[in-house]
Amino acid sequence: MCAQCRAPGSRIDWYAAGAPDTLAGRRTARTELAAVATRQLAPLGLRVDAHPGSMTLAVRSATGRTVVVTRLDELADAVRALTGRSVDPLEPRR
């Protein structure tokens, strides 16, 4: 990334905008995101939990360090904070 430019990324919670606009719909979307993110981040030793009653997601490392996020686009920053790495979907899964 160039020093003049801001980091690319969205300013809107576009994941939530694509989910049904009901309490149940938002809860289901959050639970599904936690499950999918856990699967994706397992090779990095991370787990993502969606606690019932809370609208946040908790990203946990194997040592128990936790970063709480509220939006999908904050997940990548949490992964970087916990592991110093980022995910590239074009790299073959190990």
Residue 94 touches other proteins, criterion: CB under 8 A: no
In this structure, the chain runs to a length of 94
Q: In what order do the strands lie in the sheet with 57-60?
A: 47-49, 57-60, 66-69
Residue 45 touches other proteins, criterion: CB under 8 A: no
Residues paired with 57 in a beta bridge: 69
Distance, in Å, from the CA atom of 9 to the CA atom of 35, rounded to the nearest integer, reads 23
Residue 44 touches other proteins, criterion: CB under 8 A: no
Residues paired with 59 in a beta bridge: 48, 67
Residue 12 touches other proteins, criterion: CB under 8 A: yes
Residue 37 touches other proteins, criterion: CB under 8 A: yes
Binding site for other proteins (CB under 8 A): 2, 4-12, 14-15, 17-20, 25, 29, 32-33, 35-37, 40, 72-73, 75-76, 86-90, 93
